[in-house]
Amino acid sequence: MRILIVAAIVALAGCASTDRAQAPKARPGQAVAFYSNSDAEYDEAVQGANEWCRETYDAPAQYLSTRNDGATGNVVTFGCATH
């Protein structure tokens, strides 16, 4: 029984990596998130979101929300502004 479970996991892992390689690029307006547990990390998150949105969509990032993710801390989410 364990052999079948391991084989299924390996087969699924192979499919997952193929799916990611062929996945369509994100559309404008979709979110990007970063861990942010200090002011310095928040500043880095803002910079990272702005860079990603400019490179990917030629659009600025816009703050969406912050949520606490339990043990890992705060997750801040940004979306790319649509034109």
> To the nearest whole number, what is the mean pLDDT of the chain?
73
pTM above threshold 0.85 = no
- For residue 60, the SS3 value is coil
| Alpha helix stretches (DSSP H) within the chain | 2-22, 39-57
Higher pLDDT, 80 or 83: 80
Q: Is the dihedral of CA 82, 27, 50, 37 positive or negative?
A: positive
pLDDT at 17 over 70: no
pLDDT at 71: 85
Mean pLDDT to the nearest integer, 14-28:
45
DSSP-assigned letter for residue 2? H
Q: Which of 20-34, 37-51, 58-72 has the weakest average pLDDT?
A: 20-34
Order across the sheet with 61-68: list the strands: 31-35, 74-80, 61-68
Enumerate the β-bridge partners of residue 65.
77
